[in-house]
Structure 1
Amino acid sequence: MNATKPLPSKTDLTVAHVLAELLERLEHSAAPVGAEQYRSVVLHLLDEFGDVESGTALSALLDTHPAAAELYENLNYQYAGLCRSSLDASLSAEREAKQAIDRAMHRPLKGPADGQN
């Protein structure tokens, strides 16, 4: 017998929305948040993401809840990479890294001969 996981079919995002709201509150809380509470919310949201159907409703939820979007993206990284991350931010980070590497490569070495250690 072939045991395959059925495709997600849940279209009601009420629970996912409540958990995404709670995760945002925990992320931006001025008061310390217990690790077990945070972990519990994340695990419940991961379970919910496993059941929900992709589409415009899920996309809208993720657009308004950055912490949930990051979690969703990490959950699906093996299939889609960083599909929800801003391309501009990624390109900018890559350019900055390249510039830093170029500066480091062209910086003269300082050592005992220069009178510096």
Structure 2
Amino acid sequence: MPSVIKLTVPSELLSLGRLAHLLQALEGQGRAADPHQYQLLVGRLSDELREQQGHEALPSLLDHFPAAAEVYENLQYGHAGLVRAPLELSLTSELAARALLERVKRGG
């Protein structure tokens, strides 16, 4: 029997919460989603994330929807790196990426 989680979301985040829930369901369905449907959903979710960036309830919402949190990370990565990951994990990932790029650059 699936468990039920009740999440209280401020009214201004309801649309974001619904989109995050849809993406989480789509990712967890166990089969590939329609690419166009997925692209539309992630695009709308990205727009909502940009609009609600800085909202005090956003981190809590993203804690409940890992797929939406990953989209948020991707939106922020260019100027902030892995903003939701613990600092040690972020640093380790950044150093590993740099080392890989350096190896590729040297040809091996």
1:42 matched to 2:49? The reply is no
Question: Deviation digits for residues 14-62 of structure 1, max 9, x if unmatched?
Answer: 1110000000011111243111111110000011112114133111111
Aligned to 2:66: 66
TM-score (norm 1): 0.62
Aligned to 1:104: none
Structure 1, unpaired ranges of 5+: 1-10, 95-117
Count of residue correspondences = 87
Q: Which has the higher helix share?
A: 2
Query: What CA distance in whole angstroms lies between the structure 1 residues aligned with 2:87 and 2:64?
Result: 18
What percentage of aligned pairs have identical amino acids? Answer: 43
Do the aligned partners of 2:82 and 2:90 also contact (CA within 8 Å) in 1? Answer: no
TM-score (norm 2): 0.67
Structure 2, unpaired ranges of 5+: 1-10, 95-108
User: RMSD over aligned Cα, in angstroms?
Assistant: 2.5
